[in-house]
Protein backbone atom coordinates (compact mmCIF):
# COMPACT_ATOMS: atom_id res chain seq x y z
CA UNK A 1 0.00 0.00 0.00
CA UNK A 2 1.28 3.44 -0.90
CA UNK A 3 -0.13 6.63 0.49
CA UNK A 4 0.48 9.93 -1.23
CA UNK A 5 -0.27 13.43 -0.01
CA UNK A 6 -3.16 15.18 -1.70
CA UNK A 7 -3.18 18.93 -2.23
CA UNK A 8 -6.13 20.80 -0.77
CA UNK A 9 -8.81 19.66 1.61
CA UNK A 10 -12.20 18.75 0.23
CA UNK A 11 -15.33 19.13 2.26
CA UNK A 12 -13.75 19.66 5.63
CA UNK A 13 -11.85 22.69 6.82
CA UNK A 14 -11.15 21.65 10.39
CA UNK A 15 -7.55 21.34 11.50
CA UNK A 16 -5.75 18.05 11.22
CA UNK A 17 -3.21 16.35 9.05
CA UNK A 18 -3.51 16.75 5.27
CA UNK A 19 -5.47 14.02 3.48
CA UNK A 20 -3.59 11.16 1.89
CA UNK A 21 -4.75 9.06 -1.02
CA UNK A 22 -4.37 5.32 -1.25
CA UNK A 23 -2.45 5.51 -4.50
CA UNK A 24 -4.52 5.14 -7.63
CA UNK A 25 -7.65 4.24 -5.66
CA UNK A 26 -9.55 7.51 -5.48
CA UNK A 27 -9.95 6.93 -1.73
CA UNK A 28 -8.56 9.69 0.48
CA UNK A 29 -8.09 9.51 4.22
CA UNK A 30 -7.93 12.48 6.53
CA UNK A 31 -7.34 12.47 10.26
CA UNK A 32 -8.97 15.48 11.83
CA UNK A 33 -7.31 16.89 14.94
CA UNK A 34 -8.90 14.93 17.81
CA UNK A 35 -10.70 16.51 20.76
CA UNK A 36 -8.66 16.16 23.96
CA UNK A 37 -10.59 13.11 25.17
CA UNK A 38 -10.10 11.37 21.82
CA UNK A 39 -6.31 11.69 21.66
CA UNK A 40 -5.51 8.14 22.75
CA UNK A 41 -8.09 6.73 20.38
CA UNK A 42 -6.65 8.79 17.52
CA UNK A 43 -3.15 7.57 18.33
CA UNK A 44 -4.42 3.98 18.40
CA UNK A 45 -6.04 4.26 14.97
CA UNK A 46 -2.97 5.91 13.47
CA UNK A 47 -0.68 3.30 14.97
CA UNK A 48 -2.78 0.34 13.88
CA UNK A 49 -3.38 1.79 10.38
CA UNK A 50 -6.89 0.33 10.39
CA UNK A 51 -8.31 3.02 8.10
CA UNK A 52 -5.48 2.57 5.61
CA UNK A 53 -5.98 -1.19 5.64
CA UNK A 54 -9.71 -0.86 4.90
CA UNK A 55 -9.16 1.65 2.09
CA UNK A 56 -6.41 -0.45 0.48
CA UNK A 57 -8.48 -3.62 0.65
CA UNK A 58 -11.48 -1.97 -0.99
CA UNK A 59 -9.26 -0.36 -3.63
CA UNK A 60 -7.63 -3.72 -4.37
CA UNK A 61 -11.02 -5.34 -4.90
CA UNK A 62 -12.90 -2.77 -6.95
CA UNK A 63 -12.22 0.19 -9.21
CA UNK A 64 -14.05 3.09 -7.65
CA UNK A 65 -14.76 5.69 -10.31
CA UNK A 66 -15.89 8.43 -7.96
CA UNK A 67 -13.65 9.67 -5.17
CA UNK A 68 -14.50 8.48 -1.67
CA UNK A 69 -13.18 10.51 1.22
CA UNK A 70 -12.77 9.00 4.66
CA UNK A 71 -12.66 11.38 7.60
CA UNK A 72 -11.49 10.17 10.97
CA UNK A 73 -13.02 12.62 13.38
CA UNK A 74 -14.19 13.54 16.87
CA UNK A 75 -17.96 12.99 16.76
CA UNK A 76 -19.07 13.26 20.34
CA UNK A 77 -20.85 9.91 20.33
CA UNK A 78 -22.70 10.42 17.06
CA UNK A 79 -21.43 7.22 15.48
CA UNK A 80 -19.75 6.47 12.19
CA UNK A 81 -21.71 7.30 9.07
CA UNK A 82 -21.79 7.71 5.31
CA UNK A 83 -22.85 10.92 3.59
CA UNK A 84 -24.06 10.32 0.01
CA UNK A 85 -23.97 14.05 -0.85
CA UNK A 86 -20.21 14.12 -0.37
CA UNK A 87 -19.44 10.39 -0.87
CA UNK A 88 -17.83 10.78 2.51
CA UNK A 89 -17.35 8.15 5.19
CA UNK A 90 -16.92 9.45 8.69
CA UNK A 91 -15.38 7.29 11.40
CA UNK A 92 -15.38 8.37 15.03
CA UNK A 93 -12.36 8.26 17.29
CA UNK A 94 -14.51 7.60 20.34
CA UNK A 95 -15.73 4.29 18.95
CA UNK A 96 -12.29 2.96 19.84
CA UNK A 97 -12.76 3.59 23.55
CA UNK A 98 -16.44 2.62 23.44
CA UNK A 99 -15.46 -0.73 21.95
CA UNK A 100 -12.59 -1.13 24.39
CA UNK A 101 -14.98 -0.48 27.29
CA UNK A 102 -17.47 -3.01 25.94
CA UNK A 103 -14.77 -5.70 25.86
CA UNK A 104 -13.25 -4.60 29.18
CA UNK A 105 -16.51 -5.08 31.04
CA UNK A 106 -16.70 -8.65 29.74
CA UNK A 107 -13.06 -9.51 30.35
CA UNK A 108 -10.40 -7.39 32.03
CA UNK A 109 -7.64 -8.44 29.65
CA UNK A 110 -8.64 -7.79 26.10
CA UNK A 111 -6.19 -7.45 23.27
CA UNK A 112 -5.99 -4.35 21.13
CA UNK A 113 -6.40 -6.68 18.17
CA UNK A 114 -10.10 -7.12 18.88
CA UNK A 115 -10.68 -3.38 19.12
CA UNK A 116 -8.87 -2.88 15.81
CA UNK A 117 -10.96 -5.68 14.28
CA UNK A 118 -14.21 -3.96 15.26
CA UNK A 119 -13.02 -0.67 13.78
CA UNK A 120 -12.11 -2.46 10.57
CA UNK A 121 -15.59 -3.98 10.43
CA UNK A 122 -17.11 -0.53 10.94
CA UNK A 123 -15.02 0.91 8.12
CA UNK A 124 -16.00 -1.85 5.72
CA UNK A 125 -19.66 -1.45 6.69
CA UNK A 126 -19.64 2.30 6.01
CA UNK A 127 -17.65 1.85 2.79
CA UNK A 128 -20.29 -0.62 1.62
CA UNK A 129 -22.84 2.21 1.73
CA UNK A 130 -20.49 4.25 -0.45
CA UNK A 131 -20.18 1.40 -2.98
CA UNK A 132 -23.96 0.89 -3.10
CA UNK A 133 -24.30 4.61 -3.75
CA UNK A 134 -21.51 5.02 -6.31
CA UNK A 135 -22.22 1.87 -8.32
CA UNK A 136 -25.99 2.12 -7.80
CA UNK A 137 -25.99 -1.49 -6.67
CA UNK A 138 -29.24 -3.36 -6.39
CA UNK A 139 -29.57 -4.24 -2.73
CA UNK A 140 -31.00 -7.56 -1.70
CA UNK A 141 -32.94 -7.13 1.53
CA UNK A 142 -32.05 -4.26 3.83
CA UNK A 143 -29.08 -2.11 2.92
CA UNK A 144 -27.82 -2.28 6.52
CA UNK A 145 -27.67 -6.07 6.35
CA UNK A 146 -26.05 -5.86 2.91
CA UNK A 147 -23.40 -3.53 4.38
CA UNK A 148 -22.72 -5.97 7.23
CA UNK A 149 -22.36 -8.70 4.63
CA UNK A 150 -19.77 -6.63 2.78
CA UNK A 151 -17.81 -6.24 6.02
CA UNK A 152 -17.95 -10.02 6.45
CA UNK A 153 -16.83 -10.53 2.85
CA UNK A 154 -13.84 -8.22 3.24
CA UNK A 155 -12.75 -9.80 6.51
CA UNK A 156 -13.24 -13.41 5.42
CA UNK A 157 -11.19 -12.76 2.28
CA UNK A 158 -8.23 -12.49 4.66
CA UNK A 159 -8.53 -16.12 5.77
CA UNK A 160 -8.00 -17.20 9.36
CA UNK A 161 -7.04 -13.72 10.61
CA UNK A 162 -10.21 -12.30 9.13
CA UNK A 163 -12.29 -15.07 10.68
CA UNK A 164 -10.95 -14.09 14.10
CA UNK A 165 -11.64 -10.44 13.35
CA UNK A 166 -15.21 -11.12 12.30
CA UNK A 167 -15.71 -13.15 15.48
CA UNK A 168 -14.41 -10.19 17.49
CA UNK A 169 -16.97 -7.98 15.74
CA UNK A 170 -19.67 -10.57 16.49
CA UNK A 171 -18.70 -10.51 20.13
CA UNK A 172 -18.85 -6.72 20.22
CA UNK A 173 -22.40 -6.83 18.81
CA UNK A 174 -23.32 -9.52 21.30
CA UNK A 175 -21.91 -7.50 24.22
CA UNK A 176 -23.67 -4.41 22.93
CA UNK A 177 -26.94 -6.33 22.95
CA UNK A 178 -26.55 -7.64 26.50
CA UNK A 179 -25.28 -4.39 28.00
CA UNK A 180 -27.92 -2.20 26.35
CA UNK A 181 -30.94 -4.34 27.08
CA UNK A 182 -32.57 -1.55 29.06
CA UNK A 183 -32.33 0.86 26.14
CA UNK A 184 -35.15 0.64 23.65
CA UNK A 185 -34.13 2.57 20.57
CA UNK A 186 -37.24 1.35 18.81
CA UNK A 187 -37.22 -0.22 15.38
CA UNK A 188 -34.61 1.03 12.94
CA UNK A 189 -33.17 -0.06 9.64
CA UNK A 190 -30.53 -2.29 11.27
CA UNK A 191 -30.97 -5.81 12.47
CA UNK A 192 -30.73 -5.99 16.26
CA UNK A 193 -27.23 -6.15 17.73
CA UNK A 194 -27.85 -9.76 18.75
CA UNK A 195 -28.95 -10.70 15.23
CA UNK A 196 -25.88 -9.03 13.77
CA UNK A 197 -23.69 -11.10 16.13
CA UNK A 198 -25.37 -14.35 15.10
CA UNK A 199 -25.21 -13.44 11.41
CA UNK A 200 -21.46 -12.85 11.63
CA UNK A 201 -20.90 -16.12 13.46
CA UNK A 202 -22.98 -17.90 10.84
CA UNK A 203 -20.79 -16.47 8.07
CA UNK A 204 -17.59 -17.52 9.87
CA UNK A 205 -19.01 -20.99 10.43
CA UNK A 206 -20.23 -21.06 6.84
CA UNK A 207 -16.81 -20.34 5.44
CA UNK A 208 -14.86 -22.76 7.64
CA UNK A 209 -17.16 -24.98 9.71
CA UNK A 210 -14.33 -27.39 10.51
CA UNK A 211 -12.37 -24.69 12.31
CA UNK A 212 -15.34 -23.26 14.19
CA UNK A 213 -17.40 -26.16 15.50
CA UNK A 214 -17.16 -24.60 18.96
CA UNK A 215 -19.38 -21.75 17.81
CA UNK A 216 -22.44 -23.95 17.63
CA UNK A 217 -24.34 -23.51 20.87
CA UNK A 218 -27.72 -22.11 21.88
CA UNK A 219 -26.15 -18.80 22.96
CA UNK A 220 -23.65 -18.25 20.15
CA UNK A 221 -24.92 -19.96 17.00
CA UNK A 222 -27.97 -22.19 17.41
CA UNK A 223 -27.59 -25.58 15.71
CA UNK A 224 -30.71 -25.02 13.63
CA UNK A 225 -29.18 -21.89 12.08
CA UNK A 226 -25.70 -23.41 11.81
CA UNK A 227 -27.00 -26.14 9.49
CA UNK A 228 -27.68 -23.64 6.75
CA UNK A 229 -24.66 -21.38 7.21
CA UNK A 230 -22.46 -22.77 4.43
CA UNK A 231 -25.27 -22.25 1.95
CA UNK A 232 -26.15 -18.89 3.46
CA UNK A 233 -22.57 -17.62 3.35
CA UNK A 234 -22.07 -18.80 -0.22
CA UNK A 235 -25.23 -16.93 -1.24
CA UNK A 236 -24.15 -13.78 0.61
CA UNK A 237 -20.71 -13.83 -0.96
CA UNK A 238 -22.13 -14.52 -4.41
CA UNK A 239 -24.61 -11.65 -4.18
CA UNK A 240 -21.84 -9.14 -3.38
CA UNK A 241 -19.43 -10.53 -5.96
CA UNK A 242 -22.14 -10.53 -8.63
CA UNK A 243 -23.10 -6.96 -7.75
CA UNK A 244 -19.46 -5.87 -7.93
CA UNK A 245 -18.56 -7.95 -11.00
CA UNK A 246 -18.46 -5.03 -13.48
CA UNK A 247 -16.18 -3.07 -11.16
CA UNK A 248 -13.76 -5.73 -9.94
CA UNK A 249 -10.08 -5.09 -10.58
CA UNK A 250 -8.64 -7.42 -13.14
CA UNK A 251 -5.67 -9.62 -12.44
ZN1 LIG B 1 -24.95 1.36 7.91
Tens digit of each residue's pLDDT (9 = 90 or more) over 83-101? 999 999 999 999 999 999 9
Q: For position 8, what pLDDT does the model report? A: 42
Q: For position 95, what pLDDT does the model report? A: 96
Name the residue with higher pLDDT: 64 or 180: 64
Mean pLDDT of 218-226: 96
Residues 8 and 65 in one domain: yes
pLDDT over threshold 90, residue 225: yes
Residues 98 and 36 in one domain: yes
Q: Which domain holds residue 89?
A: 1-109
CA of 148 to the centre of ligand 1 (A): 8
Residues 82 and 166 in one domain: no
CA of 54 to the centre of ligand 1 (A): 16
CA of 190 to the centre of ligand 1 (A): 7
Residues 191 and 104 in one domain: no
CB within 8 A of 73, min separation 6: which ones? 14, 32, 90, 91, 92, 93
CA of 40 to the centre of ligand 1 (A): 25
Residues 3 and 102 in one domain: yes
Tell me the backbone φ, ψ of residue 129, rounded to 5 degrees: -60, -40
Q: For position 250, what pLDDT does the model report? A: 82
In a domain, 126, yes or no: no
Q: For position 78, what pLDDT does the model report? A: 84
Burial class (CB in 10 A: 0-12, 13-18, 19+), 7: exposed
Question: Taking all residues of the chain, what is their mean pLDDT, rounded to a whole number?
Answer: 90
Residue 79 CA to residue 86 CA, distance in Å, equals: 17
Residues 92 and 150 in one domain: no
Q: For position 132, what pLDDT does the model report? A: 97
Percent of the chain with pLDDT over 90: 77
Residues 102 and 1 in one domain: yes
Q: What is the pTM (predicted TM-score) of this model? A: 0.91
DSSP state of 17: S
pLDDT over threshold 60, residue 11: no
Indicate the residue among 89, 109, 129 that finishes a domain. 109
In a domain, 60, yes or no: yes
Residue 103 CA to residue 115 CA, distance in Å, equals: 8
In a domain, 169, yes or no: yes
Indicate the residue among 54, 89, 109 that finishes a domain. 109
Tens digit of each residue's pLDDT (9 = 90 or more) over 100-139? 999 998 887 768 999 999 999 999 999 999 999 999 999 9
Residues 152 and 229 in one domain: yes
Neighbours of ion ligand 1 (CB under 5 A): 144, 147
CA of 125 to the centre of ligand 1 (A): 6
In a domain, 122, yes or no: no
Q: For position 54, what pLDDT does the model report? A: 96
Q: How many other C-beta atoms can be found within 10 angstroms of the C-beta atom of residue 235?
A: 13
CA of 50 to the centre of ligand 1 (A): 18
In a domain, 8, yes or no: yes
**Which of 25-29, 169-173, 242-246 shows the lowest per-residue confidence on average (mean pLDDT)?**
25-29
CA of 167 to the centre of ligand 1 (A): 19
CB within 8 A of 127, min separation 6: which ones? 54, 55, 58, 68, 70, 82, 89, 150
pLDDT over threshold 50, residue 6: no
In a domain, 158, yes or no: yes
CA of 224 to the centre of ligand 1 (A): 28
Residue from 111, 107, 143, 120 nearest 58 by CA: 120
Residues 148 and 92 in one domain: no
In a domain, 160, yes or no: yes
Name the residue with higher pLDDT: 182 or 225: 225
> In total, how many domains does the chain have?
2
CA of 88 to the centre of ligand 1 (A): 13
Residues 89 and 142 in one domain: no
Residues 73 and 151 in one domain: no
Residues 81 and 177 in one domain: no
In a domain, 219, yes or no: yes
Q: For position 10, what pLDDT does the model report? A: 44
Amino acid sequence: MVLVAVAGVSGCQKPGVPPTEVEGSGITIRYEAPAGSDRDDAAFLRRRKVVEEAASAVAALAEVDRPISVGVVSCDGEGSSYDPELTHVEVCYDEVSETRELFRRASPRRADDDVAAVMLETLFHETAHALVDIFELRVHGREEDFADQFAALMLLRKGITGEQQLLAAAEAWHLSEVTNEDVDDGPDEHSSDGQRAVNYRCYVYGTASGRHRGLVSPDALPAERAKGCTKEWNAVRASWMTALAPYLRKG
